[in-house]
Amino acid sequence: MLGKELLDVLCCPVCRGDLFYAKEVSELHCKKCRLAYAVKDDIAVMLVEEARKLDDSK
């Protein structure tokens, strides 16, 4: 579980925008870029190469 302080300082490496923490999937989501950054062992993997594309084209 990520602390709120950590979450506050994290931003999307692409657009520098705010990230939304998706608890259920342990990912940080950037709604703008539609990218999901994984959180592994409480460490956010802020690498664009590692990010997953969010598919919300439903």
Residues forming contacts to Zn ion in the complex (CB under 5 A) are 12, 14-15, 17, 30, 32-33
Q: Please identify, using beta-carbon distances, which residue of 32 and 43 lies nearer to Zn ion.
A: 32
Q: How far is the CB of 57 from Zn ion (least distance, A)?
A: 17
Q: How far is the CB of 40 from Zn ion (least distance, A)?
A: 19
Three-state DSSP string of the chain: CCCHHHHHHCECCCCCCECEEEHHHCEEEECCCCEEEEEECCEECCCHHHCEECCCCC
Q: How far is the CB of 45 from Zn ion (least distance, A)?
A: 15
